Structure 1
Amino acid sequence: MTPLFSLHRRRVLAALGALGGGALPALFAPEAHADDYKALVCVFLFGGNDGLNTVVPLDARYTPYAAVRGRLALPKSSLIRLGGTDFGLHPSLASLASLSGASGRLAALFNTGPLVAPLTRADYLAAKGRGPGVPGSLFSHSDQQTLWEAGSADLQARTGWGGRAAGQMQMRNPVISVGGNGRFGLSDSAVPLVLPSPGEYFGAHAMADTSGALAKRKLALQALYAGNAGNGETPLMSAFAAQQRDAFEVSDRLRDLVWLSPGQQALTAPLDTAFAPLIRDGKFTNPLASQLYQVAKLVLGRAVVGGSRQIFFAQQGGYDTHNAQIADDVLQGQHAGLLKGLGDALAAFDAAMQAIGMGNAVTLFTQSDFGRTFAPNASDGTDHAWGNTQLVLGGAVKGGAHGRFPELALGGPDDVGVESWERHGRWLPSASVDQYAATLLRWLGASEAQLDATLPNLRNFGSARSLGFMQA
Structure 2
Amino acid sequence: MDRRQWLRWGGASLAGALGVGSLSALLQNPVKAQADGYKALVCVFLYGGNDGQNTVVPTDTTRYNQYATARGALALPRNSLVPMAGTDVGLHPSMAALAPVCSARKIAAVANVGPLFGPLTKTEFRSLPGTSPLIPDNLFSHSDQQIEWEASSARSLERTGWGGRATDTLGTTNPVISVGGNGHFGLSALGTPLVLPGPGDTFGVEGLEGTWAPTVARKTALEALYQPGNLGSSNVLLDAYAQQQRTAFEVSSRLGAIVGVEPNPAAPTLIDTAFAPLTNAQGAIGTDLGRQLYQIAKLVAGRATVQGDRQIFFAQQGGYDTHNEQIAADSLSGVHARLLQGLADAMACFYNAMAAIGMGNNVTLFTQSDFGRTFVPNSSSGTDHAWGNHHLVMGGAVQGGAVYGSYPELVAGGPNDVGVSSWELHGRWIPTTSVDQYAATLLRWFGASDPQLNTILPNLTNFSTRNLGFLG
TM-score, length-scaled by structure 1: 0.92
User: Could you report, residue by residue, the CA deviation over 1:3-45 in whole angstroms, capped at 9, with x for unpaired residues?
Assistant: 99466322x754x5957xxx843xx243x55540000000000
Say whether the 8 Å CA contact 2:14–2:203 is kept in structure 1: no
Residue aligning to 1:385: 386
| Residue-by-residue CA offset, 1:260-318 (whole Å, 9 max, x unaligned) | 1111896x611101111111232111110000000000000000000000000000000
- Aligned-pair CA distance for 1:331: 3.3
CA contact (8 A) 1:8 1:252 kept: no
The aligned counterpart of 2:297 is: 296
Deviations 1:225-251 (CA, angstroms, capped at 9, x unpaired): 221012341111111111111111111
* CA displacement 1:380-404 (0-9 Å, x = unmatched): 0000000000000001001131111
What residue in structure 1 maps to residue 317 of structure 2? 316
Shift of residue 154 of structure 1? 2.0
Letter in 2 for 1:9: L
Q: Distance in 2 between matches of 1:282 and 1:136?
A: 45
Matches within 5 A, 1:305-454: 305-400=306-401, 401-454=403-456
Q: Residue by residue, what CA displacement relative to the aligned partner does 1:392-446 show, whole Å, maximum 9, x if unpaired? A: 0001001131111000011110000121101100000000000000000000001
Question: Aligned residue for 1:275?
Answer: 275
Equivalent in the alignment of 1:230: 228
Evaluate the alpha carbon distance shift between residue 366 and residue 18 of structure 1 in structure 2; reply closer, same or farther with a 3 A threshold: closer
Aligned to 2:210: 208
Contact 2:152/2:162 (<8 A) preserved? yes
| Structure 1: runs of 5+ lacking an equivalent | none
- Matched position secondary structure for 2:57: strand
What aligned pairs does 1:184-263 form with structure 2 within 5 A after superposition?
Answer: 184-204=185-205, 207-208=209-210, 210=212, 220-231=218-229, 232=231, 233=233, 234-263=235-264
Q: Which amino acid aligns with 1:385?
A: A
Give the AA of the match of 1:71. Answer: A
Could you say if the C-alpha distance between residues 265 and 436 of structure 1 is closer, same or farther in structure 2, counting changes exceeding 3 Å?
A: farther
Deviation (angstroms), 1:335:
0.3
Letter in 2 for 1:269: T
Contact 2:14 2:256 in 1 (8 A): no
Equivalents in 2 of 1:410, 1:392: separation in Å? 27
Given that 2:180 and 2:316 are in contact with CA atoms closer than 8 Å, whether structure 1 keeps it comes out as yes
1:111–1:427 CA contact under 8 A, matched in 2: yes
Over 3 Å counting, the alpha-carbon distance change for 1:224 and 1:95 in structure 2 is same
1:144-155 to 2 correspondence within 5 Å?
144-155=145-156
| TM superposition shift of 1:208 | 2.1
Asked whether the equivalents of residues 112 and 433 of structure 2 are also in contact (C-alpha less than 8 Å), the reply is yes
Identify the residue that residue 9 of structure 1 maps to in structure 2: 18
> How far, CA to CA, are the matches of 1:235 and 1:81 in structure 2?
58
- Looking at structure 2, the residues matched to 17 and 284 of structure 1 have their Cα atoms a distance apart, in angstroms, of 18
| C-alpha spacing 1:347/1:6, structure 2 compared with 1 (3 Å) | closer
CA contact (8 A) 1:177 1:313 kept: yes
Sort the Cα spacing of 1:219 and 1:379 in 2 relative to 1 into closer, same or farther, 3 A.
farther
1:35·1:308 contact (CA, 8 Å) conserved in 2? no
1:153 & 1:413 partners in 2: Cα distance? 21
Q: Is 1:66 paired with 2:68?
A: yes
Cα distance per residue 1:171-224 (max 9 Å; x no partner): 00000000000110010112100000000000127722739xxx56x6554443
Report if the CA contact (8 A) 1:331-1:337 is conserved: no
- Secondary structure at the aligned position of 1:173 is classed as coil
Alpha-carbon contact 2:35-2:359 (below 8 Å) kept: no
How many Å separate the matches in 2 of 1:434 and 1:13?
43
Structure 1: which amino acid aligns with 2:226? N
* Cα gap change, 1:175 to 1:264, in 2 (>3 Å): farther
What amino acid does structure 2 have at the position aligned with 1:428? I
Residue 77 (structure 1) shift: 1.2
SS at match of 1:457: helix
Does the 8 Å contact 1:117/1:461 carry over to 2?
yes
- 1:264/1:277 CA distance change after superposition, 3 Å: closer
Task: Report if aligned partners of 1:177, 1:195 keep a CA contact under 8 Å in 2.
Answer: yes
CA distance in 1, matches of 2:21, 2:37: 22
Mapped to 2, the partners of 1:399 and 1:282 lie a distance apart of: 34
Letter in 1 for 2:269: A
One-letter code aligned to 2:86: G
Q: 1:133 to 1:356 in 2, by over 3 A?
A: same
1:329 to partner: Cα distance: 2.4
One-letter code of the match for 2:297? A
| Cα offset, 1:356, TM superposition | 0.3
- Matching residue of 1:175: 176
Deviates more, 1:55-64 or 1:344-353: 55-64
Contact 1:298 1:305 in 2 (8 A): yes
In the TM superposition, what whole-angstrom CA distance separates every residue of 1:93-117 from its partner, at most 9, and x where no partner exists? 000011111x111100000000000
| Partner Cα distance (1:454, 1:57) in 2 | 33
Query: Which whole-Å deviations, capped at 9, do the CAs of 1:446-465 have from their partners, x for residues lacking one?
Result: 11111100001001113x11
Q: Tell me the equivalent position of 2:48.
A: 47
Once residues 349 and 387 of structure 1 are traced to their aligned partners in structure 2, the CA distance between those partners, rounded to angstroms, is 27
What is the one-letter code of the residue matched to 2:311? Answer: Q
Tell me how far apart the structure 2 counterparts of residues 283 and 4 of structure 1 sit (CA, whole Å). Answer: 18
2: distance between equivalents of 1:36 and 1:291? 24
TM-score scaled by structure 2? Answer: 0.92
Q: Are residues 65 and 128 of structure 1, via their aligned partners in 2, closer, same or farther at CA, if it must alter by over 3 Å? A: farther
Q: Contact 2:53–2:375 at 8 Å: present in 1 too?
A: yes
Q: How many residues align?
A: 454
Cα gap change, 1:173 to 1:6, in 2 (>3 Å): closer
Q: In the aligned structure 2, how far is the partner of 1:246 from the partner of 1:265?
A: 36
> In structure 2, what is the Cα distance between the partners aligned to 1:219 and 1:240?
21
Q: Partner letter of residue 430 of structure 2?
A: L
**Residue type at the aligned position of 2:261:** L
